[in-house]
Structure 1
Amino acid sequence: MGTLRFVHPTALLVAALLTIGMNTASAHPHVWVTAASELIYASDGSISGVRHAWTFDDMFSTYALQGIESKTKGVYTREELASLAQTNVESLKEFGFFTFAKADGKKEKFLEPVDYYLEHKDGALVLHFTLPFKTPFKTRQLALEVFDPSFFVDFSLRKQDPIRLVGAPAACTFAIQRPNDGSAAAQKLNEQTFASGENSNYGAMFANKVTVDCP
């Protein structure tokens, strides 16, 4: 039970239905994440990567921790969560890590994640990982979006300091566009329309968007 994956929506949904009850798990979306991100700049002003910290909802966290052994009851160390962290990061690759970046309108690619780990904080799991860009680059405008196209996972940005520019040139500024809450609208749709792929890009309407301008 300690190897919960980001699976849309078969195995995870079935397991969740059995674990947390039909009424809660049958409505789309199924997992809620509160995100905070850092854009990492090199000394020459190029952007080298994105560092994420994703806090999962209490229900998902409780389910994911089942079967994980810890020396202290209710307290989990990074080492004890290492296997689960690896499983989640490997599973995220299939979905592009729900992270999409464009430099001056051109899509940028990421390398494999590094420096990833899970922490257990205030009863919730927090996944930390860094996505290096395939090639560091300089750009006048960077557009970063974090969302799940199928809306199986609902992402929202942390209320305080959700975005940081680390090492960016002093002239760089950023703006955040927070989406409306899509959960209520999604729950009115038939779950089968998501499972069949009819709403495979539904989550794009509720993407968290960050725009960084460096004149």
Structure 2
Amino acid sequence: MKRTKPYLFAGTMMLTALAHEARAHPHVFAEARLDVIVNGDGGVEALRHVWRFDDMFSSTVLVDFDQNKDLKLDAEELKEVGSVVHESLADFNYFQIVMSNGNEVEMEAPPEMMADFTDENQLILLFESKPKEELLLKGTTSFGIYDPTFYTALEFPDDDHLQVENLPQGCKLAVIRPDPDEAIAQNQDMLTPDFFEDASNNDMGKIFATRLEVTCEG
């Protein structure tokens, strides 16, 4: 079955149909964890992501990818899940948003995405990405995730799910959870009527994304 890119697993006709009916509302939910790995020179080595998906979506993935119909996903089937997600999210920078002093940072595509299923039958995706160029923690650097199509809601359950490994001295952390009403008010000029009619056709969803801000002196 052909899988299209606009949604996380657009290989399922049911999910694709739902997406067209209500594009600006999430239909897939996941708890996220993000670890920013910093080297001894204060440079960002990698971002490590873990996404745990809701029961309904996990069950849909199980049905779609369980080729031998044994009601579980074996190693090869999980590899296929990871491969499909890797391809599907390429056009969306794997839902990552990294900013350095107001400028967006380009990230390399992760070499792979690993899939697993927990005993609670929840799909887990893990991957690691790196900046394309050296990224030193100077001034304000922010890290977050969001789906620009608004189809997938990726949420950090608490602030401890956003961490920095080897935080340099003189740097401070802050988890920013934008208030939707304030975000709209502050960006009113950029939020055109088209945004409210179909938010999936633009990239303004990042103003609502939870992010980790690292502020460093010097």
CA contact under 8 A between 2:3 and 2:10: conserved in structure 1?
Answer: no
Hey, what does 1:194 align to over in structure 2? Answer: 198
Aligned with 1:136 (options 129, 134, 138): 134
In the TM superposition, what is the alpha-carbon distance from 1:175 to its structure 2 partner?
0.8
Separation in 2, partners of 1:179, 1:12: 32
Amino acid at match of 2:137: T
Aligned positions of 1:30-41 closer than 5 A: 30-41=27-38
Aligned with 2:82 (options 76, 81, 85): 85
Separation in 2, partners of 1:193, 1:13: 25
Indicate the RMSD between aligned Cα atoms, in angstroms: 3.5
Matched residue SS, 1:165: strand
In the TM superposition, what is the alpha-carbon distance from 1:17 to its structure 2 partner?
6.9
Name the CA shift for 1:61/1:176 in 2 (closer, same or farther; >3 Å): same
Aligned with 2:210 (options 205, 208, 211): 208
Matched residue SS, 1:43: coil
Matched residue SS, 1:161: helix
Instruction: Tell me which protein shows more strand as a share of its residues.
Output: 1
Hey, what does 1:127 align to over in structure 2? Answer: 125
Aligned positions of 1:62-211 closer than 5 A: 62-69=59-66, 73-114=70-111, 116-121=113-118, 122-140=120-138, 141-159=140-158, 161-179=160-178, 193-194=197-198, 197=201, 200-201=202-203, 203-211=205-213
In the TM superposition, what is the alpha-carbon distance from 1:12 to its structure 2 partner?
5.5
Mark the runs of 5 or more structure 1 residues left unpaired by the alignment. Answer: 183-191
Matched residue SS, 1:49: strand
In the TM superposition, what is the alpha-carbon distance from 1:83 to its structure 2 partner?
1.1
Matched residues, number? 201
Matched residue SS, 1:173: strand
In the TM superposition, what is the alpha-carbon distance from 1:10 to its structure 2 partner?
11
Name the CA shift for 1:206/1:56 in 2 (closer, same or farther; >3 Å): same
Hey, what does 1:187 align to over in structure 2? Answer: none
Separation in 2, partners of 1:171, 1:87: 41
Amino acid at match of 1:86: S
Name the CA shift for 1:204/1:12 in 2 (closer, same or farther; >3 Å): farther
Name the CA shift for 1:14/1:195 in 2 (closer, same or farther; >3 Å): farther
Separation in 2, partners of 1:115, 1:43: 26
Separation in 2, partners of 1:90, 1:83: 11
Report percent identity of matched pairs.
26
Report the TM-score when normalising by structure 1: 0.76
Tell me which moved more, 77-86 or 67-76: 67-76
CA contact under 8 A between 1:5 and 1:91: conserved in structure 2?
Answer: yes
CA contact under 8 A between 2:7 and 2:88: conserved in structure 1?
Answer: no
Separation in 2, partners of 1:57, 1:211: 27
In the TM superposition, what is the alpha-carbon distance from 1:34 to its structure 2 partner?
1.3
Amino acid at match of 1:174: L
Mark the runs of 5 or more structure 2 residues left unpaired by the alignment. Answer: 182-195
CA contact under 8 A between 1:111 and 1:131: conserved in structure 2?
Answer: yes
Residue by residue over 1:133-191, the C-alpha shift from the partner in whole angstroms, topping out at 9 and shown as x without a partner, is 11232122211221122311112113262111123324432111224589xxxxxxxxx
